[in-house]
Structure 1
């Protein structure tokens, strides 16, 4: 974990022998009716505080089941940036004391492998935001580490 210019940044990186197209298909297939692999229940629990004020359609929503697009919703995220086959940035819609992003990048690795890099970025809002980051750090690392493993497993078939 690092702190950069007021943001907290935490990165999970894995190397895969699956091809970049298979990896991208696994990334682009996240969410909606397909869910979030083995982390689905954990994301569900994380979104519980939002369920009181939001209809279910705001928490599980995807306009296109197969392709993402900038500005579109992906469950409790908005697709903020998309470079098909290479990069996806999601901005969180979950209520918290700050703003959060999930960034996924596919990069060339050694020997024809692909590096899967998943970065969480959090901009805390005041002291409550700093406390929130540290309180959620261990659960987020568990969820996001498992998500990275699940995406690679899905890409491998």
Structure 2
């Protein structure tokens, strides 16, 4: 399910899905997002966005994520995002540190559901007065593709806990004699 909301100060893209997985299984995949795992869909678009950010003097996507742990903690870096809130098994909120005409957050909420669990993926953007809305609407078609694919890929990865991104797989195959 998809919902698009707008207010005077915040533009929001909300996507939800129900899955037979437990909230813990689903949240485990959410916490692995970014870094070498990737963003579960269209990683090449994330990389393009990261390069554009670097060209504009931003952090890009090359920071990865903390080594040695899949568990997210407040202030952890995940590519171009910073973890600003975590409630284990229920919520992960990231704030964008890339150069934007405004402020952006990406949030994942997981709730128990009679059929298993329900995930809500929310992208929020607080646009700057002049170019913020123009930016949001200009990239909105790309966001539709990326966010829809990310939610589907995240659920698919939660069904397969040993998920490896296509980049990881291709790197391993290239290194094999």
The answer to whether the superposition gives a TM-score over 0.5 is yes
Alignment match of 2:119 (pick from 116, 120, 127): 116
Alignment match of 1:138 (pick from 132, 141, 157): 141
Q: CA deviation at 1:54?
A: 5.0
DSSP 3-state at the match of 1:34 = coil
Which residue number corresponds to residue 102 of structure 2? Answer: 98
| Higher normalized helix content (fraction of residues) | 1
RMSD of aligned residue pairs (Cα, Å): 1.6
- What 5-or-longer segments of structure 2 have no aligned partner? 161-177
Q: CA deviation at 1:5?
A: 4.6
Please list, as runs of the form range in 1=range in 2, the aligned pairs for 1:55-70 lying within 5 A after superposition: 59-64=62-67, 65-70=69-74
Q: Aligned equivalents of 1:43 and 1:31: distance in 2?
A: 10
Q: Which of 9-18 and 45-54 deviates more?
A: 45-54
Alignment match of 2:30 (pick from 15, 18, 27): 27
Structure 1 consecutive aligned stretches of length 4 or more whose deviation exceeds 6 Å:
none
Which residue number corresponds to residue 85 of structure 1? Answer: 89
Q: Indicate whether 1:37 and 2:40 are aligned.
A: yes
Which residue number corresponds to residue 153 of structure 1? Answer: 156
DSSP 3-state at the match of 1:37 = coil
Q: CA deviation at 1:68?
A: 0.8
DSSP 3-state at the match of 1:120 = strand
DSSP 3-state at the match of 1:144 = helix
Q: Aligned equivalents of 2:8 and 2:59: distance in 1?
A: 35
Alignment match of 1:127 (pick from 123, 127, 130): 130
Q: CA deviation at 1:37?
A: 2.1
Which residue number corresponds to residue 16 of structure 1? Answer: 19
Q: CA deviation at 1:55?
A: 6.7
Q: CA deviation at 1:85?
A: 0.5
In terms of Rg, which structure is larger?
2
The answer as to whether partners of 1:33 and 1:60 remain within 8 angstroms in 2 is no
The answer as to whether partners of 1:99 and 1:123 remain within 8 angstroms in 2 is yes
Q: Aligned equivalents of 2:126 and 2:74: distance in 1?
A: 21
Which residue number corresponds to residue 49 of structure 2? Answer: 46
The answer as to whether partners of 2:34 and 2:79 remain within 8 angstroms in 1 is yes
